[in-house]
Amino acid sequence: METDKPLTPAAERILTVAGKLFYDNGIHAVGVDTIAAEAGVTKKTLYDRFGSKAELVALYLWRRDVRWRERVHSFAGRRSTPARRLLAVFDALADWLATENTRGCAFVNAHAELPEADHPGRQVIAASKRWLLGYLRDIAAEAGVRNPARLAEALLILVEGATVAASLDVTPTAVATAKRVAKSLIEEATGS
């Protein structure tokens, strides 16, 4: 999902307000009346700009995904080797959890609230997780790993598990622990 045209100032306000409300309270707990009131617009304006609450949810998730990808690229771009770029994903995750994902993964939270397989938000969620898996696989291939898909799957599971464990305060060192395990897997896979 990409938006070819920029949003109007009112639409940007709606999206910002909706994103905060959805993440803080849950998608089903927040109605369009509340979003419109908090954004200072009418419900008609909300529907004119987004068409439906489902489309607003999808755009909210897509915007989060764009920010997440930018964060990963920013952290990985500062690393000199493929192995270090793989580990940088965990540094990006630690930063993300501290600043934007204080209530857990927005995609996992939304997935739990969106049981309909054809909901546009579910498509964004799946695309986000597939992107990270592909990103990890591509970097693992650059590192010369014999089975980059296998390593990427393991690293994705570590990222997802660390995200959940950290958000539940199960262990305060979830991301650091996941990164340590990832480092061992990467060293084993690259023979270094």
Average pLDDT over every residue of 68-85: 94
3-state SS assignment for residue 102: strand
The pLDDT of residue 20? 96
Does pLDDT of 122 surpass 80? yes
Nearest to 110 by CA among 101, 100, 122, 98: 122
For residues 113 and 27, is the Cβ–Cβ distance under 8 A? yes
78 φ, ψ to 5°?
A: -85, 0
Nearest to 14 by CA among 28, 48, 119: 48
Task: Tell me the residue type at 127.
Answer: A
**Residue 102 vs residue 154, higher pLDDT:** 154
**Residue 33 vs residue 171, higher pLDDT:** 33
The pLDDT of residue 3? 56
Query: Rounded to the nearest 5 degrees, what angle is found at the Cα of 134, between the Cα atoms of 188 and 180?
Result: 35
Reported as a single tens digit per residue, the pLDDT across 48-71 is: 999 999 999 999 999 999 999 999
pLDDT band at 168 (very low <50, low <70, confident <90, very high): confident
Reported as a single tens digit per residue, the pLDDT across 133-150 is: 999 999 999 999 999 999
The pLDDT of residue 6? 82
The pLDDT of residue 14? 96
pTM of full prediction above 0.85: yes
The CB-based long-range contact list for 75-79 (8 Å cut-off, 24+ gap) reads 76/139
Nearest to 89 by CA among 74, 103, 100: 74
